Every structure is written in structure tokens, then in C-alpha cells.
Chain A
Amino acid sequence: AAGVIQSPRHLIKEKRETATLKCYPIPRHDTVYWYQQGPGQDPQFLISFYEKMQSDKGSIPDRFSAQQFSDYHSELNMSSLELGDSALYFCASSFSVRGDDEQYFGPGTRLTVT
């Protein structure tokens, strides 16, 4: 079965650079969630999109923005990168129109900021 695809899998950037992470949800899923997991920490919710509109927002820095496109893929844009942004970034997708909403996670993008 198709799974959530994230690219790139690994990314190394320097401080103050920008990064773009991409997420391709499972076909027919209408919702995308982004999570950040710092070293030794539990995943933390950043932002979600339902039917291409932002639906919920967590502790996402103002330097980050995201959107969901007409083909339902999503991109997380991160600017003015800081050392503390080094983390695993997970995307999850679900079919949430009925509220069933089991979330299926991608393999993550490991971002290292030097």
C-alpha cells in the first residue's frame, strides 16, 4: 500500500539559510499534519491542513510557513534557520472528513543546521 512520502530524507543547512521540506500524502487523504521532533524529545505538532486550507496551528515559529497544494502535497518552508531547528520533521496524512482520522506518518526529514 502507498505510504506517505517525504523529501528530502536528510538535509544539511547552515544558520540563516532557508529549507523546504515536502510531503506527499497517501492518495485520497485530505489532511496533512506536520510534527517536529528534537533530539531526545517527543514529536510536537506544528501545523495542519484540511482540503488545502490551514486547519490548526501549534507551536510553529513565525519563521516557518507551510501550505497544501491542489494535488494535496504539502511543503514546510523554514527561513533564517537556527541551530535549534535541527530535528526530525514528520508529516502525517489522514482521511478526516468523517473524523476517523488515523494518522499515517512518513519516514521523516532529518534537518541538521550547522
Chain B
Amino acid sequence: DAKTTQPPSMDCAEGRAANLPCNHSTISGNEYVYWYRQIHSQGPQYIIHGLKNNETNEMASLIITEDRKSSTLILPHATLRDTAVYYCIVRVRSPGGYNKLIFGAGTRLAVHP
């Protein structure tokens, strides 16, 4: 699976958009970009994933560059409850239980009033 690089920490004001970058310059054509987050000591939470098109769901938007070497997770209106460690994970999708998640260092997002 391709290696990812994320900034160790970011700050965001409540109500503003939080834009979390991820570099994955060695991504291969069949690898997806996944985002998970972990609020303090809770189980990680799936946010969104994409292959090459931009994706949006009720939690966030995922913007993937045309060359797929980087992506940005956007939380459109951050709240205090979005304070968490955000993990960008790149991997292929295989049926049958081979899709383990390899967590890197992640970005610690702090949302402040």
C-alpha cells in the first residue's frame, strides 16, 4: 500500500471549514484513498473514500487531485466535536477480508471556539 504524509497537527475555528491535506505520491492506479478519524480513545470512525473523482457525503468532502498524488478532506463547518486525529489511508480493495487498515501518524485537528 502507498505511503501517505499528513501534517502532524492543525487548528480550525468552530464554524469554519477544516481542510486536511494528504500526500500519496506513490499511489497506484487501483488504490483508493480512505479517511478515518479517531476521537480521543474511541474506536476509529470511517469518514469517506474515493478513487479519482471527488466525493461528498453527510460528513465531509474528499477532493483528489487529477494526478491522484494528493487529496484534501474538507469538513465544511467544523464543530468542537470534530476535534480528533484524522487518518488518510491508501489501499487497494480486495474481497474477502484482506483490507486491513495501516494507520500512519495522522493529523491531530483541534477545533476551537
The answer to whether A binds B is: yes
Interface range for A: 20 to 34
Residue of B nearest to A43 (CB): B103
Question: Majority SS of interface residues in chain B?
Answer: loop
Residue of A nearest to B105 (CB): A42
Tell which of B14-22, B43-51, B60-68, B71-79 binds the partner: B43-51
- CB of A101 within 8 A of CB of B93, answer yes
Chain A residue contacts of B49, Cβ below 8 A: 102
Chain B residue contacts of A106, Cβ below 8 A: 43
Given known pairs A99-B93, A99-B95, the reply for A108 and B100 (CB within 8 Å) is no
- CB of B105 within 8 A of CB of A94, answer no
- CB of A45 within 8 A of CB of B94, answer no
Cross-chain pairs A/B with CB under 8 angstroms, 19 sampled: A33-B100, A43-B44, A43-B103, A45-B100, A48-B97, A48-B100, A50-B96, A51-B97, A55-B98, A56-B97, A56-B98, A58-B100, A92-B43, A98-B95, A99-B95, A100-B93, A102-B49, A107-B43, A108-B43
Known: A44-B103, A56-B97. 13 other contacts (CB 8 A): A30-B97, A33-B101, A42-B104, A43-B103, A48-B97, A49-B97, A50-B96, A51-B97, A55-B98, A96-B99, A99-B95, A105-B43, A108-B41
The 9 closest A-B pairs by CB, nearest first: A50-B97, A105-B43, A55-B97, A99-B93, A42-B103, A45-B100, A31-B97, A101-B99, A99-B95
